[in-house]
Chain A
Amino acid sequence: MKQTVSVVILVIGLLSVAVAHEGPLDEVTLIPQWIPQAQFAGYMVALEKGFYREAGIDLTLLHGGPSRAPLSHLATGKATFATDWLTNGIRQRAIGQPIVELAQIIQKSALILVARKDGGILKPQDFDGKKVGLWEGHFYLQPMLFFRKFGVNVQVIPNYTSVGLFLKGALDAISVMYYNEYHTLIQNGLNHDELSTFVLSDYGLNFPEDAIFTLESTYKNNPDLCKRFVDASIRGWVYAFNHQNEALNIVMKHVDDANTPSNRSHQKWMLAKMKELIEGDSSGSKIGRLNREEYMRVAEAMLEYRMISEIPPFDQFYRGMQ
């Protein structure tokens, strides 16, 4: 009953690549915000292909999971870098955590609401009075804005790591990631045409998601290291998109290693979706960048929803490519 995921430290490819960077390697640690899956393929591939070593970085890739808040790992010094949603980063910064964003990896929101068509939810207005399972914390933001936009009152039920409640019929709708849990529902035997989907980014709620964070002190002491880390990570992503089969093999190694109950076809779906989300509407030219307007749009929505009491200045928050 204890679904604890043991932390496995991966040190992969130590001997296999040529070292381009002069001098001793910088030892750094990355904590992704969730369990090993294709959502983090870029980092896994960069590690496996030696892109970090070429950038002078000796990376330790930790396993994320439900009980490990990535941004807390920065504060406690357990990790040098962490990935998390932009909204969570803003929230943490707003409450005084000394973190900075180095790169905005996922440009496009993949958060969607999904309902069984036979449950009667076919359009946004149908949500009124329904039981909707939502993840807690910053995951609330977009769905609640969505419900407000359409003036519907829903009965929110907290939902955690699984889609079990939805499958057992206890919920009329749940929030899922299009690249992950939506496909899990398909692999649980639900058909696409049996499901109503509401892609929140289609309703003016495109909040960028996964971003790379570090402590402000780390950035100030070694901005070059931060830049090298981000560049090598993006290089890993681009390589993964161009060599999806090879990338999938690398991802499955990490999946197997963590004994994650997942399978290759699921990871394949996820990697394909990652490409769309990371390249965004700019088809790749904007990879890793966060612009001020987007930041302000998200922060203002959070302020309005009282998730934060003030907006952290953009220039202090974002230290990545302009």
Chain B
Amino acid sequence: MKARIWNHIIFKLALMVIAASSVVFGFVLLYSYTFSKEIILKDAERRARYLALSVARRIEQEFRSVQKAPLGITAFLETPDSDLKKLDNLILRTVRDHPEVFGMAVAFEENTFPGTLLHCSYYYRKDGQIVHDVQTPETEDYHREDWYHIPKILNRPCWIEPYYDDTAGGVLMTSYSVPFYFVNPDGSPGALRGIVVADVSLKWLSELVASVTTVRDSQFFIISDTGRFVTHRRPEFIMRETVFSLAENFDDAKMREFGRAMLREGSGLAVVNGSPMFPDGAILAHAQIPSPKWSLAAAFSKDALLEDIHGLHRETLVLAIVGILMMLAPSYLVARSIAKPLRKMAEAARKIKQGDLDIDLSDVKVRDEVGELAESLTDMSRGLKERDFIRDTFGRYLTKEVVSSILESKDGLKLGGEQREISVMMSDLRGFTALTSNMAPEDVIKFLNRYLGSMIEILIEYRGTIDEIIGDGILAFFGAPQDLDDHPARAVACALRMQNAMEHINALNEADGLPHLEMGVAINTGAVVVGNIGSEKRSKYGAVGAQVNFTGRMESFTTGGQVLVSQSTHDKLRDILDIKTELQVEMKGVVGKINLYQIVGIRGTHEVRLSDKCYKFKDLDKPLGVCFYGMDSKIIDEKMRQGEITQLSPTSAVVRTTDSIGQWEDLRMTLCDPVYEGFGDMYGKVVSIDKTNDYSLAMIRFTSVAPQIYKVFREALAAENNS
């Protein structure tokens, strides 16, 4: 009985501890993760919103200050009769006074600057100096440029889409263009006269955005009012990609929507849970820069935001695993403290099963339930020892009922001797000992077991206690150890039933070619000593006393088929017994004649009748010669006498002889005719004698008849019947 590892209690307990604590830790971790994630993301949303708004406001201030630069110039140009010769100086001064401005120009409509078709005066910074450049139609047709054309058509100042300026060495620039007008005589603005433009380098913008990147993997970007990137962490996107071209490139509809919101709404927030552009998810906040209508976005990668709690929970997870593993140690100890004694007890129980009741559980010292179990187990083995002793004592011959009733009663365990009135029964097969000498051993056993099996069954039925079985002889008694008030009646009824059973047994024996046998039973009632007889090693519950011996002697007077009861038994059942004959016999060691009664039936509770075996005698036409020998104590007397069977029944014969013959004499007989040589013996008891002068007629009751002879008898009887 080797248990597999998963059937060990240690394994099961460990598994359970791991499973249960994993569930608990798992739940706690999950809860903590979800909760802290939510907090961090909410906080990030707030921060993103705030950052976007505050940086946008900061940039807006710069744009506003640039917007102020052209005001002086337009005011000058819109003043009637202003001296245009002073214009260049004014532009130069304005550029010098506005360090945030890269350069400024004043460009005129066709034929509105005295003396030229087109005129544009431009001052800009170069190598720390402010240099001057004048554009004419020969150098560049500025009318087609956005910075001139768009405010002209719009009729209002506006910011121009950024561009890379070659003059400034490829720097990203944007321009603020302000149209100025002729002034009508009444002071109202007239036709467009030209455009004042202030150029701004956007280098500071990238630097500002770079400086506010405070969170890992956060990014800021600014798009112009066309969606084009003005700043971005990836320089290759600037000016070339728009937020929409990237969305198209990544096939990211959410990003396109976000871009549209950036251009259309003052500020807003988008939480992206995985999109082609932000596969790890992102929090995006945007805010407009009002003057140029550009928009700034702050994007926080969720992965970066959650990195800390991911790290924390990774560590917590490791700690939890270590904790769970550490819990294995105590659970191992507990499991072992249970499993080890249990294994010992299982071993002990196995020993008990195999019949070894000497178990030792003294080293199970725990005082818990396990200790209790060990104690119980020890008690049980002790109890079983006593039980075994009882079973050994009563043998196999008690009914289960009796055994259990004895085992259950505490007194049953105390089996000291006691004087008790019981009914003793003794039976044996007449002539069996002599007969078996000629039988094959296996036939003897078969014969005996068939007979004894049948008898024991009946005895148990009547609650007889079998004291002893010696060969074919049975010594049994009724009324001990169990008290039975009706023990004499039970004994008699049992004996009658046993006799009746013989008929069936003989039928079976005959079919097997075994001898025909007759049984005699004697019953006596009296006070005897009952108790355990023997030593520790081997003992039995038995009865001893004169009344037992008396029963034995009574039994020797029985012939086949007879049930004899003693005077004392008879006296107790006087009214219900059917008596066939009353015999008077003499016994060794007993003074005077003794009365014995042959019983054929009992009435009352245990009503039994002997089946009718009153076979009629047939006169034989040709008497069969018999040689017979006397038997004393079952030792065959060698002195041969002769006679002939004149009358025959299946159980008895009348022998006419001139030789001496005595009543109650036991005889061994053979058929004298040489024809029957080797046919075997027959045994019988002389039950009555009619003496004439010439011969005696002895009635012999057979106790056993060899099968071949029995055959001869049956043929003889059959022939007589037919005649």
- A residues adjacent to B (C-beta < 8 A): 1-4, 6, 66-67, 157-158, 160-162, 164-165, 167-168, 170-171, 186-189, 191, 259-266
Contact = CB atoms under 8 A, between A and B. Distances in A.
Given A1-B173, A157-B153, A168-B158, A265 B259 contact: no
A189 B197 contact: no
5 nearest A-B residue pairs (beta carbon): A160-B144, A188-B226, A187-B245, A265-B249, A265-B248
Contacts of B560: none
Given A2-B166, A161-B144, 19 more contacts: A1-B103, A2-B165, A2-B167, A4-B140, A67-B140, A160-B145, A168-B150, A170-B150, A170-B153, A187-B242, A187-B248, A188-B242, A188-B244, A189-B226, A189-B227, A189-B243, A189-B260, A263-B249, A265-B248
A263 B245 contact: yes
Contacts of A1: 103, 105, 122, 142, 145, 147, 163, 165, 167, 173, 175, 197, 199
Contacts of A266: 245
A167 B225 contact: yes
A189 B140 contact: no
Contacts of A162: 146, 161
Contacts of B146: 160-162, 164
5 contacts: A1-B142, A3-B163, A157-B153, A162-B146, A167-B226
- Select the residue from A6, A168, A189 with max chain B CB neighbours within 10 A: A189
B307 to A, nearest CB: 32
Contacts of B140: 2, 4, 67
B149 interface: yes
A187 B249 CA distance: 11
A262 B140 CA distance: 24
B249 to A, nearest CB: 5
B167 A261 contact: no
Contacts of A191: 260
Most buried by B among A3, A66, A188: A188
Interface in B233-250: 239-245, 248-249
Nearest to B135: A2
Given A168-B154, A189-B243, A259 B164 contact: yes
B263 interface: yes
A187 B240 CA distance: 11
A2 B140 CA distance: 8
Interface residues of B, number: 44
A164 B248 contact: no
Interface string B147-171: 1011001100010110111110010
B133 to A, nearest CB: 9
B240 A263 contact: yes
B240 A262 contact: yes
A260 B240 CA distance: 7
B228 interface: yes
- Main secondary structure, interface of B, reads mixed
A82 B197 CA distance: 36
Output the residue of B149, B199, B225 with the most chain A CB within 10 A. B149
A260 B142 CA distance: 20
B276 to A, nearest CB: 13
Contacts of B164: 259
A165 B153 contact: yes
A165 B249 CA distance: 26
A281 B105 CA distance: 50
Nearest to B242: A187
Interface in B24-77: none
B548 to A, nearest CB: 122
A191 B154 CA distance: 24
Given A1-B173, A261-B239, A261-B240, A187 B161 contact: no
A188 B246 CA distance: 11
A189 B259 contact: yes
Contacts of B199: 1
A189 B244 contact: yes
Contacts of A263: 240-242, 245, 249
A94 B483 CA distance: 152
Nearest to A266: B245
B223 to A, nearest CB: 9
Given A1-B165, A160-B144, A187 B153 contact: no
Of B165, B175, B242, most buried by chain A (CB within 10 Å of CB) is B242
Contacts of B241: 263
Contacts of A170: 150, 153-154
A186 to B, nearest CB: 7
A165 B149 contact: yes
B150 A265 contact: no
Contacts of B228: 188, 261
A171 B150 CA distance: 11
A160 B149 contact: yes
Q: Which one of A1, A67, A168 has the greatest number of beta carbons of chain B within 10 Å?
A: A1
Interface in B157-216: 158, 160-161, 163-167, 170, 173, 175, 197, 199
Contacts of A260: 240
Contacts of B249: 263-265
A187 B164 CA distance: 20
A167 B153 CA distance: 13
Nearest to B262: A189
A31 B256 CA distance: 37
A14 B263 CA distance: 47
Given A2-B140, A263-B241, A165 B150 contact: yes
A124 to B, nearest CB: 24
A207 B243 CA distance: 35
Interface in B117-152: 122, 140-142, 144-147, 149-150
B227 A4 contact: no
B103 to A, nearest CB: 8
A72 to B, nearest CB: 14
Contacts of B147: 1
A6 B147 CA distance: 20
Contacts of A171: 153
Nearest to B173: A1
A164 B166 contact: no
Nearest to A259: B164
Contacts of B161: 162, 164
Contacts of B122: 1
Nearest to A167: B226
Given A170-B154, A188-B244, A3 B145 contact: yes
A160 B226 CA distance: 17
A150 to B, nearest CB: 25
A134 to B, nearest CB: 13
A227 to B, nearest CB: 37
B236 to A, nearest CB: 9
A132 to B, nearest CB: 12
Contacts of A2: 140, 165-167
Contact of A164 (B150, B167, B227, B244): B150
A143 B328 CA distance: 86
A155 to B, nearest CB: 11
Contacts of A4: 140, 166
A8 to B, nearest CB: 13
A241 B140 CA distance: 38
Contacts of A261: 163, 228, 239-240
A168 to B, nearest CB: 6
B150 A187 contact: no
Contacts of A165: 149-150, 153-154
Contacts of A66: 144
Nearest to A160: B144
Q: Which has the most chain A C-beta neighbours within 10 Å: B161, B175, B197? A: B161
A262 B236 CA distance: 11
A187 B160 CA distance: 18
A300 B266 CA distance: 53
B524 to A, nearest CB: 125
A265 B252 CA distance: 13
B227 A188 contact: yes
A188 B161 CA distance: 12
Nearest to A255: B240
